[in-house]
Amino acid sequence: MFTTRTAKITHKTEKGVLIDGLGTIDSNPDRTCIEFETLNCTKTEFLDWFLLLDESEGLCSDGVCLIDLGNTSLSLSTGSVISVSYPEMIEAWLEMKTVAAKREIAELALFNKLFYSMNDIAEHGNFELDADVVVNPDQD
């Protein structure tokens, strides 16, 4: 049996640009602070897995609550339960690492092409940068 990390939404608070009566201004963007309690792990453990998932797009965390910046597809109403299984987390982690590796390879290829093109200018006075050097890291 695989491990699943689970949390339950306990409270939601709308926040944003406002004045608190003391003259200080909250300059953070409009957002919803979503408080939760974990059911079988620590908050840090839950967030480590949950924030890897595509479903968490539009969410971030301050370590205490989830912060919804307005474009999540999840239903995060009070009382909702969110679970992340180990296989879901591993799949998301592998995808993230794959995209990062492809991006790094693309950057190295571009740097390499630019470096050798600059040497070509210095040696021969010509410069050509082939468009096919830039690799899209999101493509297989």
For residues 68 and 107, give the distance between their C-alpha atoms in angstroms, rounded to a whole number: 32
- Residue 93 DSSP SS3: helix
Please give the structure tokens belonging to residue 102: 């492809």
For residues 76 and 98, give the distance between their C-alpha atoms in angstroms, rounded to a whole number: 29
Predicted confidence (pLDDT) per residue in 35-61, tens digit: 999 999 999 999 999 999 988 888 888
Rounded average pLDDT over 6-34: 75
Query: Considering Cα of 131, then 134, then 139, then 140, what sign does the dihedral take?
Result: positive
Q: What percent of the chain has pLDDT over 90?
A: 41
The predicted pLDDT at position 71 comes to 73
Average pLDDT over the chain reads: 80
Rounded average pLDDT over 17-40: 74
Predicted confidence (pLDDT) per residue in 71-93, tens digit: 777 888 899 999 999 999 999 99
Q: pTM score, two decimals?
A: 0.67
In 29-69, which residue ranges form alpha helices assigned H by DSSP?
Answer: 43-50
pLDDT tier at 13, thresholds 50, 70, 90: confident
pLDDT surpasses 60 at 99: yes
Rounded average pLDDT over 97-124: 81
The predicted pLDDT at position 120 comes to 63
DSSP-assigned letter for residue 55: G
Please give the structure tokens belonging to residue 75: 């239903």
